[in-house]
Amino acid sequence: QQPVQSPQAVILREGEDAVINCSSSKALYSVHWYRQKHGEAPIFLMILLKGGEQKGHDKISASFNEKKQQSSLYLTASQLSYSGTYFCGTESGNTPLVFGKGTRLSVIA
């Protein structure tokens, strides 16, 4: 089952914060976050395994609520370079990643 991402699109000014959500109807083993810039391949950001952990590097972090089958990606003090489409991918059991439709993030000066 494809995870549902929200919002579909968001526009930020430099320095503002954003949250992107990813939810699934199935019990999750892991959640993966990727960013894709126009005309390029998706780039891996981070992975969260069941256990409800939170991860982050630089000003991008994520949480995973196993019970709610949800994950959120947090972008703080956004920079122009954060612009792109963010995808979450989820794994359930031994199934491969299923990606959401993506959230288009635009950061403007």
Chain residues that interact with another protein, rule: CB under 8 A: 29-30, 32, 34, 40-44, 47, 49, 87, 89, 91-102
Chain-centroid distance of CA 88 in Å reads 5
What's phi and psi for 80, nearest 5 deg?
-55, -35
Helices (DSSP H) in 1-109: which residue ranges? none
Nearer to another protein, 10 or 28 (CB): 28
Question: Closest distance between another protein and the C-beta of residue 4, in Å?
Answer: 12
Pseudo-torsion of CA 74, 65, 99, 30, nearest 10°?
Answer: 110
Question: Closest distance between another protein and the C-beta of residue 104, in Å?
Answer: 11
Nearer to another protein, 83 or 92 (CB): 92
- Pairwise CA distance, residues 14 & 76, whole Å: 10
Query: What letter represents residue 7's amino acid?
Result: P
Question: Closest distance between another protein and the C-beta of residue 33, in Å?
Answer: 11
Nearer to another protein, 33 or 82 (CB): 33
